[in-house]
Amino acid sequence: MDLQVIDPFHFSVRPHALFDRQAMLLTSGDFAKGDYNCMTIGWGLFGTMWSVPVALVVVRPSRFTFEFMERYDTFTVTAFPPQYRRDLAYLGSHSGRDEDKLAETQLSAVAADLVPSPSFAEAELSVECKKIYFTDYQPEQFLAPFIHGKYDGGDYHRLYYGEILQIKGISKYAPSPDA
């Protein structure tokens, strides 16, 4: 896809639709070394923290991608057009520990511009991030009882804040600055 660089102050996204309905792909590792893994995510945030634009992603320690998030200091978050929904479903339900799951999809990893973690040729949105903070969820601090139901048997997420170094996307993610 032909993606344009988007100023974070002009980045326009419907986060609930993007994460919950469209789904995103989180990828960490080193593309040049061929050492990376991706997973579909349905939870996350875009915002401002410590006066910089950030993406917040969460990964359970049981996921193979967790190992890459721990070893590498960058990650990408990418979104895709609807025709790749089946591929994202596959990537979210199979482990890179067991197979080359990316080879079972139509998606093609490509070098990102600023970080070692890859992006994807088919992405309509690519957000390149450098980790700046992490913390683990503490179940005793959940204030809403329904949250406990999201963690059968534990396996609580680690939160990663990534400073957004670059956003590239199609025009729907970058409306006119005058809009």
Instruction: Provide the pLDDT confidence category of residue 178 given band limits of 50, 70 and 90.
Output: low
Instruction: Provide the pLDDT confidence category of residue 106 given band limits of 50, 70 and 90.
Output: very high
Evaluate whether residue 179 is within a structural domain.
no
Could you tell me where the beta strands, DSSP code E, fall in the chain?
A: 4-5, 24-30, 35-41, 44-49, 52-59, 74-79, 109-110, 119-120, 125-136, 158-169
Evaluate whether residue 178 is within a structural domain.
no
- Short-list 173, 78, 178, 174, CA closest to 121: 78
For 80, residues 6+ apart whose C-beta sits below 8 A from its C-beta are 22, 25, 87, 88, 107, 120, 122, 123, 124
Evaluate whether residue 163 is within a structural domain.
yes
Question: What mean pLDDT, rounded, does the chain reach?
Answer: 94
Evaluate whether residue 65 is within a structural domain.
yes
What is the residue range of 168's domain? Answer: 4-173
User: How many distinct structural domains can be found in the chain?
Assistant: 1
pLDDT of residue 173: 94
**Residue with the larger pLDDT of the pair 178 and 3:** 3
Evaluate whether residue 157 is within a structural domain.
yes
Average pLDDT of 69-76? 98
Evaluate whether residue 166 is within a structural domain.
yes
| pLDDT, tens digit, 9 for 90 and up, residues 9-45 | 999 999 889 988 888 999 999 999 999 999 999 999 9
pLDDT of residue 177: 60
Residue 35: give its domain's CATH number: 2.30.110.10
Q: Contact, 25 vs 85, CB < 8 A?
A: no
Is the pLDDT at 179 greater than 60? The verdict is no
| pLDDT, tens digit, 9 for 90 and up, residues 129-174 | 999 999 999 999 999 999 999 888 888 999 999 999 999 999 999 8
